[in-house]
Chain A
Amino acid sequence: MIYVSVILPLLLALLLAQYMIPRILMVSVKKDLVIPSETRDKGRLRVPRLGGVSLFPVLVISAGATAALCARFDGSLLWMTENDSDFVQYMFAAAGLTTMYLLGVMDDLLGVSITSKLIIECLAALLIPLSGLWLDNLHGVLGIYELPWWIGMPLTMLTVLYISNAIPMLDDVDGLASGLAMIAFTVLGVVAFLADELVLLIFCSAMTGMLGPFFFRNVIGSRMGLRNIYLGDTGSLTIGYILSVVVIGLSRLGGRCLPEGVIMVCFGTLLIPMFDVFRVAVTRMVNHRNMFRRDNNHIHHRLMQGGMGPVQVLVFIMIITFSFVILNVVCVWFDWNLSVLLVTDVSLWLILQVVISYYKNKKRNF
């Protein structure tokens, strides 16, 4: 049954997304929902940013059908009889995800002010710790172990907010958001498989499956004459929310049915966007600029200023992410101290930044 719960949502989501993308394109072109290209992507065809609209329905259909089949044929595989706290968590997460989806659709089509966007995101993020899914143990990262609820719950909420807002910045380069999210969901899916967490596994494989067609269309399809499509805010908010739920859910299992350091593996998949948003925020704060206005200071902008093409940027960032994941997995496997691992990650990342800055300045000085 566990193989069914990998393959069925993957295929179902892949087919549904592949079927829906041309329809979304048709609707958005016919109804003129193509967002006019602004300063950020000059010289391109006007690309609809509504691809993310398909993610939530496809997730509901593919993951829902699989979960229902699993529950029908072998109820013990899910959570019901002995453990109802999981049930509460998934219910609350579904409500929060719907909220995020609605917010994203409104933001893509109409634009939502930053204040109301933050308020709604906070409400959706608050549902996660309230359902009992909060980081109660850091397993020795920075020497911290058990957390009391009044630190753990706000921390969880901030993590959800942070991840949900870190994903949209990736949506500037073709295929970057879908590619990174696919890597993250694949790794998390393997972790969920090892932990026998059937529902999270279904989520992960459904997300991997439905992002495949987007990745293909963004990277290869748009060069073969197919019309390109972006995920938009809907997509990034949805992906970010699901990612944070899965990451937090799996991190809590460390020490129970997974090795202690699984928290670093889970967060390691999101290392690049998380660190990069942090760096950008610090830079903006130091330069006394508006925290929320978009600028050209993200890692992919810097790489492009350093002389890389969009495809090179995509491949480079994916390789970096992949090597960070491998590093974290290996170190957790050999039972390193997690603080040391974190410091290693940060220092490797800093070295990377220095190298990028070097190439950027070299290019500028020519």
Chain B
Amino acid sequence: MDELQLTIYSVAIPFLLSVVLGWLFIPRVLILSHRKQLYDMPDQRKMHHTPVPRLGGITFLPILLIVVCMSLGVWVMMRMPYNSETLDDLFTRFILLFVGMMVLFLVGVVDDLIGVSYKAKFLTQIISAVLFPISGLWIHDLSGLFWINEIPTWVGILLTIFVVVYVTNAINLIDGVDGLAAGICFVSLLTLGLAAMVKGQHLFMLITFGMLGILLPFWYFNVFGHVEKEKKIFMGDTGSLTLGYLVSFLLIYMASGAGITFPREMLIIGLSTMFLPMFDIVRVVIVRVRNHCNPFLPDKNHIHHKLLRTGISSRCVMTVLVFVSLLLVLATMMGVFYHLGTTFVFLIDVLLWLVFDGTVNYYIRKNHRKRYE
């Protein structure tokens, strides 16, 4: 088979399979949650006031497992080309990916059903993050970010664990408006998937497009489902934790350059897909520390809360934020394309984000004043 057929196979088969499975499975989860009353009880911080099930995330891991196993099995069975020398390494990493996802899945399900303290959640995130260095996967090279290139092993391992926990939490915290976390992850996975497609990394394409395929029906039910018709669903902590873990796995795998052919700037491109939630966490933590609050306790200061305060609808918030995320990715890609240097590209991203945040603050003040008058 030639390259084109392989690419089509590794994009279309997992994508279609997981769209179909998601389409079949998510309505069942809805029926299940409504019949067994597995709701997220509305409270102060949340945006909604009628009970909506938040078990949508439990579909992600099983469907991804089925899709990846099936398409990988068929791949090897049809004797499509693969590099058998690196297969051991790949196998180790992908199995440990699913092990870590499963740990987060279990914690997430318990959290969605009866609640888990943030300490326990944090601990499990660190445990699952440690699996990456164990499988021989850590950031070797900052590729010129802050003028640092090669970094020592232990720094790389600590940095990897930090990035995994950071990205996982970032997605967990951005999941406050319908379709927002799914939309940002969609942009991120699409970018990573296209990068894998350009470089002909079929295994990555299987995983990214499989996950994209699940996000599509989920996103539909999340955004367009009617609460009254019992069609609306949230991804909950299960979804955001597993999704965040998967995204950080792909980021770090592509950045670590362990025997594969991604360019050195892949680290900054991959991270830029997550810059919006990541920068937002920094801002929120700074604000909380300045106000002498516990930085781990939830409040209403995230970017989507701020955007809602400007007076636009929640669907509009989602669109704006996904668009800004896309803009950051495009800016980074342009910067990398014109060889501006990684640090400079990063500074441009920070600048763009500051401009965005300033604009939001301006509109909040305007809206506030308008309401006051």
Contact = CB atoms under 8 A, between A and B. Distances in A.
A110 B102 contact: no
Nearest to A111: B35
A85 B79 CA distance: 10
A247 interface: no
Interface stretch (A71-79, A137-145, A293-301): A71-79
Contact of B76 (A26, A64, A91, A101): A91
A110 B31 CA distance: 8
Contacts of B285: none
B65 interface: yes
B135 interface: yes
B91 interface: yes
A260 to B, nearest CB: 28
B95 A64 contact: yes
Contacts of A98: 62, 65-66, 69
A88 B32 contact: no
A58 to B, nearest CB: 9
B1 interface: no
Interface string A54-75: 0001001100110110011001
A94 B70 CA distance: 9
A102 B77 contact: no
A71 B37 contact: no
A102 B62 contact: yes
A80 interface: yes
Interface residues of B, number: 39
B123 interface: no
Interface string B6-27: 0000000000000000000100
Contacts of B88: 71-72, 75, 78, 80-81
Contacts of A57: 102, 105-106
A72 B135 contact: yes
Interface in A109-140: 109-110, 131-132
B216 interface: no
Interface string A13-29: 00000001001001100
A36 to B, nearest CB: 13
A30 B36 CA distance: 12
A106 interface: yes
B28 interface: yes
A95 B65 contact: yes
A127 B1 CA distance: 24
B32 A72 contact: no
Nearest to A27: B113
A105 B127 CA distance: 27
Given A60-B102, A64-B95, A72-B92, A91 B32 contact: no
B38 A95 contact: no
A84 B92 CA distance: 15
Interface string B76-112: 1100000011011101110110110011011000100
Contacts of B93: 68
A48 B180 CA distance: 36
B45 to A, nearest CB: 22
A110 B28 CA distance: 9
A150 B106 CA distance: 41
A111 B106 CA distance: 23
Given A87-B76, A91-B73, A33 B136 contact: no
B198 interface: no
A92 interface: yes
Contacts of B330: none
A101 B61 CA distance: 12
Contacts of B134: 72
Given A64-B98, A80-B91, A92 B73 contact: yes
B73 A95 contact: yes
A68 B134 CA distance: 10
B114 interface: yes
A31 interface: yes
A131 B93 CA distance: 23
A67 B106 contact: no
Contacts of A32: 36-37
Contact of B69 (A31, A95, A102): A95
A60 B66 CA distance: 13
B105 A23 contact: no
Contact of B96 (A65, A87, A106, A132): A65
A131 B114 contact: no
A92 B69 contact: yes
Given A64-B95, A71-B92, A27 B135 contact: no
Nearest to A62: B99
Contact of B77 (A27, A88, A110): A88
A17 to B, nearest CB: 12
Contacts of B92: 68, 71-72
B70 A95 contact: yes
A124 to B, nearest CB: 10
B72 interface: yes
Contacts of B103: 61
Contacts of A27: 110, 113-114
B214 to A, nearest CB: 13
Contact of B102 (A31, A61, A71): A61
16 contacts: A26-B114, A57-B106, A61-B102, A64-B95, A67-B95, A68-B91, A68-B92, A72-B88, A88-B73, A88-B76, A88-B77, A92-B69, A92-B73, A98-B62, A98-B65, A106-B32
Given A81-B84, A91-B70, 9 more contacts: A31-B114, A33-B36, A71-B91, A72-B88, A80-B84, A84-B76, A88-B73, A88-B76, A109-B36
